[in-house]
A = this chain, B = another copy of it.
């Protein structure tokens, strides 16, 4: 056990593969192993060495992404006591884990109410419940446009992250501007003071 991982350490490649798979699957949910391997800069055979089959890889992506998002979002939620600040920090957290967040969102969009309820998924429900509470409070205070429904605002929140990702991938919006642009736009879209 070294204090620093080797560059060719297996766990590094493993993480790299999951990361590449998330990017590929986020853009094309039927992406082939070949495409994922190419994106990760390895051979298809290497992917098969780390994951028995395609489904295993996909499942690992789901678990890992859920874990990452739950952690980041929970930290953001606990970063303050003021709903407006909490919401803003949760937005930034979602932006930071952009593609992961988008992946998790799609995950729950498709398999809604499967019987695959595990700890991570329950934790995600908690995160979502906390988010809903925040928006409810802000709306009751009149800080958020009362004409908009909370489910709509939830869709907006996730959708704005996707817009930020797309803008970044398209490359036509300066990378440094994206964070401020997207928060400004999200704030405006819900009429937040």
Contact = CB atoms under 8 A, between A and B. Distances in A.
A149 interface: yes
Interface residues on A, range: 35 or more
> So how many copies of this chain end up in the complex?
2
A151 B173 contact: yes
Nearest to A162: B159
Interface string A3-44: 000000000000000000000000011110000000000000
Contact of A189 (B155, B166, B189): B189
Contact of A170 (B29, B148, B155, B172): B155
Interface stretch (A52-60, A61-69, A177-185): A177-185
Contacts of A191: 188
A145 B109 contact: no
| Interface class of chain A by DSSP | helix
Contact of A188 (B145, B149, B151, B173): B145
20 contacts: A30-B30, A109-B166, A109-B170, A145-B188, A147-B181, A147-B184, A148-B184, A149-B173, A149-B174, A149-B181, A152-B173, A152-B181, A154-B172, A155-B172, A156-B185, A159-B162, A185-B190, A188-B188, A188-B190, A189-B189
